[in-house]
Structure 1
Amino acid sequence: MKRINLGSQGLEVPVEGLGCMGMTTIAGGDIYGKANEEESIATIHRALELGINFLDTADLYGPLLNERLIAKAIKGDREKYTIATKFGFKIDDNEQLTWGFNGKPGYVKKSIDRSLKNLGTDYVDLYYLHRLDPATPIEETVGAMSDLVTSGKVRYIGLSEVSGETIRKAHQVHPISAVQTEYSLFEREPETNGILDVLKELGIGFVAYSPLGRGFITGELKSPDDFAEDDFRRQIPRYQGENFYKNLDLLKQIQAMAENKGITPSQLALAWVISNGVVAIPGTKRIKYIEENAAAADIVLTSEEKAKLESIIPVGVTAGTRYDAQQMQSVNV
């Protein structure tokens, strides 16, 4: 597995990581269908064999259950993994998710201690602010995160779903190693909102979550009814009603291109993301798919193939937003 530098502070990761969110529920609801702990742990172990040792989790997932699952998977082999986790969604002392945001310095310190305990480790490689707390200046939050680096609890810090302006303010307080946001053939806003330009200017790495359009690009979904009743994708406008079928028409063209190249649509989409110098963290809880995804890192796309893909789905052509109206208010801020 090829590796890449994330940021300019020394963090090195494979070009493909493993998103672990779907391995547990969130607030009692399944994310991408039912998960099996034994199978999920086996997938993490297989990922390591394939050179994918960059695991992405968050205290939100579960809440807290995802970090505890990862603790089981990495026990005895902590040094072989690069662990990224996130904080910022407020979780109360009863381990209940409030869905509010908290970036206050005191909560930063409380969150890292809780995550370290749940992960069964004494340090986190990459610690992200999951969402900006509108009630707390980013400088205060990042200042507290910087203290975690000084204390040795965190090696590098990152941000998730923030604007270029917020990135600049944060980077002045402490070097940011990575910014994470949704990015795929179906979600190319980072190319137009200035984030990629800011990251390049400041020497910050970019981590793309949902590089397979939350599983849509796999081609396994034929209608909105294919989602389980508690699958959170039912809440996403992009995958509802007429939007679903408009996007499916675009996907069929990608499927045809992948078939001609002798690869899967997922592999084609991942190869495109990685070709842009981005670290992709596709999520899966099954060995079959981690093996398929890992193979995508070796696929080389010609400039003509990239241009064709980008002409099939030009920036802005995707139907529907990637979150509902309320959640869209907390991204790119």
Structure 2
Amino acid sequence: METLENRTLGRSGIRAGALGFGCWAIGGEWTDPAGAPLGWGRTDDEESVAAVRRALELGVTFFDTADVYGAGHSERLLGRALRGRRAEAVIATKWGNVFDERQKVMTGGDDSVGYARAALLASLRRLGTDYVDLWQLHLGDADPERAALLREACEGFVREGLIRAYGWSTDDPARAAVFARGPHCAAVQHGLNVLVDAPEMVELCEREELASISRGPLAMGLLTGKYGPLSRSAAGDIRATPPPWLDWFDAGGVPSPQWLARVEAVREILMSQGRTLAQGALAWLWARSPRTVPIPGFRTVAQAEENAGAVAYGPLSAEQLAEIGKLLGR
């Protein structure tokens, strides 16, 4: 069985595990200005901290968060969990969204260079660290010309020692290419999972020698096996009142039948060799490209253990990858 080795994040020289953990869910509840949920519902902070520490024990070293997750709460929790163990972890966070930390509300976005510095310093305080390993622009549709100015600002932050590398969280290869021109650009964070491929972005990452940070690797839970046709998401969960971009779920938090059907089509292959469905979905990503670093979300120690357990199985085979492509009509 093929094993997984640590990844080098793009051209940065930063070494991290092939599996990262996404910290959106542990941020807890927060909303947009209209009161619509942007988090994954209520969480237990003690369980979240224990899950991060358990992940470290299991060899997971890459943790991806954002300043806006939980309106600052995710960063604070991650910093608490890593206290005394900062050197063991690679911390990635994001900026660009504006929020009210006290009210737990996202209020807008700001792509100015001045705000970038303020946001970075605020993230460092919440994380309890003096540097961020990978700092990512969180405005996926930001103007490319303004983004070029932010890229140069990021180069300045590298020289100051505030960040080690930077990237852009975007699904647009043309925008990602703007940041890729920077010497210390190391990654693109973009949507990628077994159900929805992103060939142009994967090709860009391979061509530009960037890490492909795979956002939504478990399709917001559809690839965990816990959702069926009668499932409902709880109040306070973004899946219960999905915004337009979240098409995995229909109104009321009901899983979309078309996506559930695609999950069923590939279930047997993903669960081969004793994997759980989630572990198989992660295995597909590792087979898709040697530059992928999937960042599944988690809220409990049990989820951390299941996701980390995928590493032992390694990637799917080339034959399994091809068969899944046929089954999904790609």
Q: TM-score range by the shorter chain?
A: 0.7 to 0.9
Q: Which amino acid aligns with 2:201?
A: I
1:95-151 CA-partner distances (Å, limit 9, x unpaired): 764442212110010001000000001001110001143396111111111111111
What residue is the counterpart of 1:86 in the other structure? 94
Counterpart in the other structure of 1:253: 265
Q: Corresponding residue for 1:223?
A: 229
Q: Which amino acid aligns with 1:297?
A: V
Query: For 1:251 and 1:201, how far apart are their aligned partners in 2?
Result: 30
Match for residue 249 of structure 2? 239
Pairwise mapping of residues 136-285 of structure 1 onto structure 2 (< 5 A)?
A: 137-188=146-197, 190-191=198-199, 194-223=200-229, 225-234=231-240, 235=242, 236-240=246-250, 244-276=256-288, 277=290, 278-285=292-299
CA gap of 1:105–1:301, structure 2 versus 1, over 3 A, is same
> Following the alignment from structure 1 to structure 2, what is the Cα–Cα distance between the partners of residues 111 and 147?
15
- Answer yes or no: is the 8 Å Cα contact 2:64–2:91 preserved in 1: yes
Number of residue-to-residue matches in the alignment: 312
Normalising by structure 1, report the TM-score.
0.87
1:289 matched residue in structure 2: 303
- Structure 2 alignment gaps of length 5 or more: 32-36
Corresponding residue number in structure 1 for 2:321 = 306
SS in 2 for 1:62: helix
What is the Cα deviation at residue 311 of structure 1?
2.0
Deviations 1:149-196 (A, max 9, x none): 1110101111101522222322334431000011101221x21xx222
- Per-residue CA distance 1:24-44 (angstroms, 9 max, x = gap): 224254733421111111110
**CA distance in structure 2 between the partners assigned to 1:26 and 1:61 by the alignment:** 9
Deviates more, 1:170-179 or 1:256-265: 256-265
- Residue deviations 1:49-86 (CA, integer Å, cap 9, x gap): 11101111100101111101111101111111110000
Task: Determine the structure 1 residue equivalent to 2:12.
Answer: 9
SS of the equivalent of 1:64 reads helix
Please say if residues 183 and 210 of structure 1, whose CA atoms lie closer than 8 Å, have aligned partners that are also in contact: yes
Q: Distance in 2 between matches of 1:266 and 1:7?
A: 26
- Aligned equivalents of 2:43, 2:120: Cα separation in 1: 26
Cα distance in 2, alignment partners of residues 95 and 146 from structure 1: 33
Q: Distance in 1 between matches of 2:324 and 2:234?
A: 30
SS at structure 2 position matched to 1:48: helix
Amino acid at match of 1:31: G
Aligned-partner Cα distance in 2 for 1:281–1:314: 26
State the identity as a percent.
Answer: 28
**Contact kept? 2:71, 2:100, Cα under 8 Å:** no
SS in 1 for 2:248: helix
Would you say the 8 A contact 2:29–2:41 is kept in 1?
Answer: no
Question: Mean alpha-carbon deviation: is it higher for 298-307 or for 152-161?
Answer: 298-307
Q: Secondary structure at the match of 2:66?
A: coil
> What SS does structure 1 have at the residue aligned with 2:262?
helix
1:224 Cα offset (Å): 6.2
Distance in 1, matches of 2:278 and 2:80, equals: 29
Are the structure 2 counterparts of residues 155 and 249 from structure 1 closer, same or farther at C-alpha, using a change threshold of 3 Å? same
Residues 278-321 of structure 1: CA distance to partner in whole angstroms, max 9, x if unpaired? 11111111121222111212324222211122222234xxxxxx
Residue aligning to 1:321: none
Kindly indicate whether the alpha-carbon contact (under 8 Å) linking 1:207 and 1:280 is maintained by their aligned counterparts in 2: yes
- SS for the counterpart of 1:297 is helix
Change (3 A) 1:6 1:291: same
Aligned residue for 2:167, secondary structure, equals strand
Normalised by the length of structure 2, the TM-score is 0.87
| 2:112 is aligned with 1:112 | no
Which deviates more, 214-223 or 119-128? Answer: 214-223
Amino acid at match of 1:239: F
In 1, the alpha carbon distance for the partners of 2:203 and 2:263 equals: 28
Q: Which secondary structure does the structure 1 equivalent of 2:153 belong to?
A: helix
CA distance in 1 between partners of 2:192 and 2:75 (Å)? 24
Extract unaligned runs of 5+ from structure 1.
316-333
